[in-house]
Amino acid sequence: MAATIVGVFQPEMQNLIKDSKILLVGAGGIGCEVLKNLVLTGFSDLEVIDLDTIEVSNLNRQFLFNKQSVGKAKSHVARESVLKFNPNVNIKSYLGNIMDQNYDASFFSRFKLVINALDNKKARAHVNRMCLSVDIPLIESGTMGYSGQVEFIKKGVSLCYECLPKPEPKSYPMCTIRNTPKEPIHCIIWAKFLFNQLFGESSLDDVSMEVNEKDDLPKISAREWSIKNNYDPTKMFKKIFIDDIQYLLNMKDLFKNKRTEPILMSESILKEDYADYSHESDLKILDLFQYISMFKDSIVKIKNKLDLTNGKNLVWDKDDDDFMNFIVSCTNLRSNIFGIPLKSHFDIKSMAGNIIPAIATANAIIAGQIVIHALRALSKNYERCQSVFLRAKPNHKGAILVKDKKLESPNPNCFVCSVHGELILRLDTTRITVRQLDELILKKKLNMVLPDVMADNRILISSNEDDELDLYSFSLNKIQVVHGSRLKVDDYFQNYSVIIMIHHKEKATDEQPDFEIFNNMEDLRKRDEQLIAEENAKIVQETYDCVIEEFEKDDYRVDKVKPTYGSIRNEQTDTDMMETIDSEHEVSDAKESLTDSGDQEVSNEEILALKRKSGNEEETSEPKKSRFDE
């Protein structure tokens, strides 16, 4: 409460601190530290919102919580803890999602300053737009392990959160996951799909095969089969790790490349004794029999949990030990079949849960800098609000907290904060439906909440359900959205609008992205040049590979083979299952956006939710291009 003590701050600053109402979005790792710093500095009119409840793994850094508060709402407990050292502040706490329609423009406009302490891009982009729309300054932040960053965002003054492209999560082709895994991560993603197929909200991304019990009956899904067999662990094991593999082996073209061919386990393995694993370290790789026991145990325990939901579904959670044991055993059993190195429980949890390491000190440093930025921003000293980066190790000058030279000006072509926001959307207008445009492109990719779309004064998509517009199942060309069409897209909730120019391009092969978004024609041309270069490089590489295969059969030396062109095209048409899935593996790059806190599962949930709505549509996420298949 420094601002209540005369002489600590200059009178103007003292008044600014006392009078400024601040919104803190997020009460996690950074949020707890920021709330403490704001209150101690003397800010006394605060609101804090968070949608999460407290978990044990938060306690190493979210110091306003303790063991007794696990399971409670972060925002409320954070408020109560802070009031213990200063009861003379007015803090309002909300348990809720900042993207909810309760928190509209009039909600945001009550604040002098907004501070983001979030852990996902979607919410960050949303708050960015809300703050731009009501012209409230925003401080954006993130940490990852030892590193972190603070950025200041103000309309017309600085870069906005979406002015520069962000790195995208890595993606994996669905056919690799289903049929030809080559790395541990492929088996981990497969295991998570399997969990959802058996216990969770099932999508069409089934990984375990349908069962044909009798020739005259229709096939039933693996889920139905499991229920019919009352989740019998031995039967489940046989189905998933023997019968399904046999099914793959029967698909002749699948394993031309010997390296990925699975090895079928003998059914005699079903009669092996129980192998205890309960006292093993989570750093150790166990033996096959222990994983089989772990698999069977986890099936029984998860089945019991499923029964308790009374017909509902389970939602996967990395912090549930039974769920994790299921993933670990399934991953390693499958890896073993495909000749992939096994991983420890500890490592699989990191990958399956997308866990970003998080420590108290990095959050505290970033939170301190956030409040210093808040002081500069409130006194309108914007040139002192440059981005600041926390480095894991000192640079050559010994600095660990490093600032940008100056506050970066807005990107004049930003599709969010510039007046002439325009985007080029390249897609195959005969294949993309209005629903895909709405849900995958506008909402998921472009982070809109309630988009309305007009073309030539016709409404194509309306956020108002009363309009009863139902063009969702039509492809774009069927409703005269073709090459050169200009779509006017508005999100009244975000007070955001953008013109989208349609650039038609036939999707010739399944490998091509379903859509790509560009800021201008120049970027589109650059992308094409890059694609041609990549394609050429790939032809050389793949020709090497396939020629090598042939020569190895005849025991020839590999290094003498010269590349020849041709013959690869056939390689790609092995199955009709070329889909790409988004495994949410964020690329880490110190200068790019960091996330708070090591609890990065939000985006996974977003994907699941989307899949529920829109069927089997997936999206790749390589920079600026995306793909989904039906």
Partner 1 sequence: MSDVKPRMNGDGGMSVEEKKVYDRQIRLWGHDGQNKLRTMKVLLIGMQGLGAEIAKNLILAGINSITLKDHTDVSILDRCSQFLIPHDSQERNRAKASIIAAQLLNPNVKVSADTTPIEDNDESFITSFDVVIATECSPLIYRKLSDECRKSKVKLFIADVYGLFGYFYQDLNFKLNLYDTVFPFDDQNNIVPIIKNKPPTYVLASALLKFQLDFHRKPNPDTSEKDIEELKAIIDSISPDEECIKPDYFNEYYCELFCELSPSTSIVGAVVAQNAINSIMGNLVEGYNMFFYDHYEHEGKFHAI
Give the per-residue SS3 of 487-553: EEEEECCCCEEEEEEEEECCCCCCCCCCEEEECCHHHHHHHHHHHHHHHHHHHHHHHHHHHHHHHHH
Active site residues: 175
The reply to whether 526 sits in an annotated binding site is no
Provide the minimum distance between the beta carbon of 176 and partner 1 in the complex, in angstroms, as a whole number: 26
The reply to whether 477 sits in an annotated binding site is no
* Nearer Cβ to partner 1 (141/580): 141
The H or E element spanning position 328 is helix 321-337
Q: Phi and psi of 423, rounded to 5°?
A: -130, 150
Provide the minimum distance between the beta carbon of 450 and partner 1 in the complex, in angstroms, as a whole number: 35
The reply to whether 60 sits in an annotated binding site is yes
Residue corresponding to tokens 């650039």: 503
Provide the minimum distance between the beta carbon of 600 and partner 1 in the complex, in angstroms, as a whole number: 11
The reply to whether 32 sits in an annotated binding site is no
The reply to whether 414 sits in an annotated binding site is yes
Provide the minimum distance between the beta carbon of 286 and partner 1 in the complex, in angstroms, as a whole number: 13
* Nearer Cβ to partner 1 (399/459): 399
The reply to whether 30 sits in an annotated binding site is yes
| Binding region for partner 1 (CB under 8 A) | 1-2, 4-10, 33, 36-37, 40-41, 56-57, 59-61, 63, 66-67, 84-87, 145-146, 279-284, 350, 355-362, 364-365, 367-372, 375, 384, 386, 388, 393-394, 397-403, 597-598
* Nearer Cβ to partner 1 (41/293): 41
The H or E element spanning position 585 is strand 580-585
* Nearer Cβ to partner 1 (7/566): 7
Asked if 139 contacts 114 with a C-beta cutoff of 8 angstroms, the reply is: yes
Asked if 144 contacts 588 with a C-beta cutoff of 8 angstroms, the reply is: yes
The reply to whether 26 sits in an annotated binding site is yes
* Nearer Cβ to partner 1 (361/497): 361
* Nearer Cβ to partner 1 (7/311): 7
Q: Could you give the CA distance from residue 161 to residue 410 in angstroms, rounded to a whole number?
A: 10
Provide the minimum distance between the beta carbon of 287 and partner 1 in the complex, in angstroms, as a whole number: 16
Asked if 442 contacts 462 with a C-beta cutoff of 8 angstroms, the reply is: no
The H or E element spanning position 116 is strand 113-116
The reply to whether 187 sits in an annotated binding site is no
* Nearer Cβ to partner 1 (42/262): 42
Instruction: Name residue 309's amino acid.
Output: T
CA 522, 526, 531, 532 dihedral sign is positive
Integer CA distances (angstroms), 205 to 195, 201, 222, 334, in order = 11, 11, 12, 18
The reply to whether 219 sits in an annotated binding site is no
Provide the minimum distance between the beta carbon of 364 and partner 1 in the complex, in angstroms, as a whole number: 4
Q: Could you give the CA distance from residue 416 to residue 401 in angstroms, rounded to a whole number?
A: 29
Provide the minimum distance between the beta carbon of 361 and partner 1 in the complex, in angstroms, as a whole number: 4
DSSP letter string over 102-139? TS-HHHHTT-SEEEE--S-HHHHHHHHHHHHHHT--EE
Integer CA distances (angstroms), 439 to 64, 172, 412, 432, 442, in order = 38, 21, 27, 11, 6
Q: Could you give the CA distance from residue 53 to residue 278 in angstroms, rounded to a whole number?
A: 29
DSSP letter string over 160-209? -TTSSPPP--EEEEHHHHHT---SHHHHHHHHHHHHHHHTS---S---SP
The annotation places the binding site at: 26-31, 50, 58-61, 74, 119-124, 160, 163, 414, 417
The annotation places the binding site for ATP at: 26-31, 50, 58-61, 74, 119-124
The annotation places the binding site for Zn(2+) at: 160, 163, 414, 417
